[in-house]
Amino acid sequence: MPGNRTKWSCATVAVLTLSVLLTGCGGSDESSGGGKTVLRYTWWGNPDRAARTQEAVALFEKEHPGVEVQTSFAGYEAYKQKLATQAAGGDAPDVMQLDYRQIDQYASGGILLDLAEQKKALRTDEIDPGLLATGVVDGTQYAIPQGRGTEAVVYDAKQWKEAGVTLPSKGWTWGEWADAMRALARKTGKPGSVDPGQSEDCFEVWLRGQGKVLYTKDRGLGFTADDLTRWWTFTDKLRREGAVSAAEQTTQLDGSVENQPLARGTAMSDFNWDAPASGYTAIVGEELTLAPMPSGADGTPGQYFKPSMFMGAAASTEHPEESAEFIDFMINDEKAAAILGASRGIPVNEPIRDDIGPELKDFDKTVADYQDSVDGTLKAPPKAPPTGDNSLQTTFQRDYDQVSFEQMTPREAAEDFITEAKAELRS
Amino acid sequence: MTTTDIPAKTVRTKTPAPPPRQRGRLRREGAAWVFLSPWVLGAVVLTLLPMAVSLYLSFTDYDLFNAPRWVGLRNYVQMFTEDPRYWRSVGATLMYVVIAVPLQLALALAVALALKSMKRGKSFYRSAFYAPSLLGASMSIALVWRAVFNDGGTVDNLLSDIGIHTGGWVNKPGWALLAVALLTVWQFGAPMVIFLAGLQQIPVELYEAAAVDGASRKRQFISITLPMLSPVLFFNLVLQTIQAFQVFTPAFAVSGGKGGPADSTLFYTLYLYDRGFVASHMGYASAMAWVLLIAIGAVTAVLFRTSRSWVFYANEGER
By Cβ distance, the residue of A17, A109, A401 closest to B262 is A401
Helix (H, G, I), strand (E, B) or coil at A94: coil
* pLDDT tens figures, B72-120: 999 999 889 888 889 999 999 999 999 999 999 999 999 998 888 887 8
Q: For residues A36 and A67, is the Cβ–Cβ distance under 8 A?
A: yes
pLDDT at residue B273 above 80? yes
- pTM equals 0.79
What is the C-alpha radius of gyration for chain A, rounded to an integer number of angstroms? 25
User: Residue B221 and residue B226: Cα distance in Å, rounded?
Assistant: 6
Q: Which residue of A has its CA nearest to B67?
A: A109
User: Residue A358 and residue A361: Cα distance in Å, rounded?
Assistant: 8
Q: For residues B315 and B5, is the Cβ–Cβ distance under 8 A?
A: yes
Q: Which residue of B has its CA nearest to A92?
A: B65
Q: For residues A315 and A300, is the Cβ–Cβ distance under 8 A?
A: no
Query: In chain A, what residues touch B37 (CB-CB under 8 Å)?
Result: 14, 17
User: Residue A230 and residue A243: Cα distance in Å, rounded?
Assistant: 17
The reply to whether residue B38 touches residue A17, judged by beta carbons under 8 angstroms, is yes
H runs (alpha helix) in B174-248: 176-186, 189-201, 204-212, 217-220, 226-245
Confidence at B137, pLDDT banded by 50, 70, 90: low
Q: Which residue of A has its CA nearest to B254?
A: A252
Mean pLDDT of the region A86-113? 88
Q: Which of A1-15, A355-369, B205-219, B260-274 has the lowest mean pLDDT?
A: A1-15
Confidence at B18, pLDDT banded by 50, 70, 90: low
* pLDDT tens figures, B177-215: 888 888 888 888 889 999 999 998 888 888 888 888 888
Confidence at B3, pLDDT banded by 50, 70, 90: very low
Query: In chain A, what residues touch B279 (CB-CB under 8 Å)?
Result: 390-391, 394, 424
**What is the distance in angstroms between the Cα of B92 and the nearest Cα belonging to chain A?**
15
The reply to whether residue A419 touches residue B84, judged by beta carbons under 8 angstroms, is yes
Query: In chain B, what residues touch A14 (CB-CB under 8 Å)?
Result: 34, 37
Phi/psi of residue B128, nearest 5 degrees? -60, -45
What is the C-alpha radius of gyration for chain B, rounded to an integer number of angstroms? 25
The reply to whether residue A251 touches residue B66, judged by beta carbons under 8 angstroms, is no
CA distances from A67 to A27, A61, A325, A331, B69 (A): 20, 6, 10, 18, 40
pLDDT at residue A63 above 70? yes
CA distances from A371 to A193, A262, A299, A384 (A): 22, 22, 18, 21
State residue B21's pLDDT score: 58
CA distances from A269 to A165, A293, A405, B29 (A): 13, 12, 21, 73
By Cβ distance, the residue of B31, B37, B277 closest to A85 is B277
Mean pLDDT of the region A259-264? 83
The reply to whether residue B279 touches residue A391, judged by beta carbons under 8 angstroms, is yes
Confidence at A422, pLDDT banded by 50, 70, 90: confident
pLDDT at residue A22 above 80? no
Question: B67 — contact with chain A (CB < 8 Å)?
Answer: no
User: Residue B27 and residue B17: Cα distance in Å, rounded?
Assistant: 17
State residue A234's pLDDT score: 94
State residue A310's pLDDT score: 92
Q: Which residue of A has its CA nearest to B255?
A: A252
Tell me which amino acid residue B155 is: V
State residue A89's pLDDT score: 82
State residue A32's pLDDT score: 46
Q: Tell me, what's the ipTM?
A: 0.76
The reply to whether residue A401 touches residue B257, judged by beta carbons under 8 angstroms, is no
List, in sequence order, every residue forming a beta bridge with A421; answer none if it has no partner. none
Query: In chain B, what residues touch A77 (CB-CB under 8 Å)?
Result: 257
The reply to whether residue A77 touches residue B257, judged by beta carbons under 8 angstroms, is yes
* pLDDT tens figures, A109-158: 889 999 888 888 888 888 888 788 888 888 889 999 988 889 999 998 88
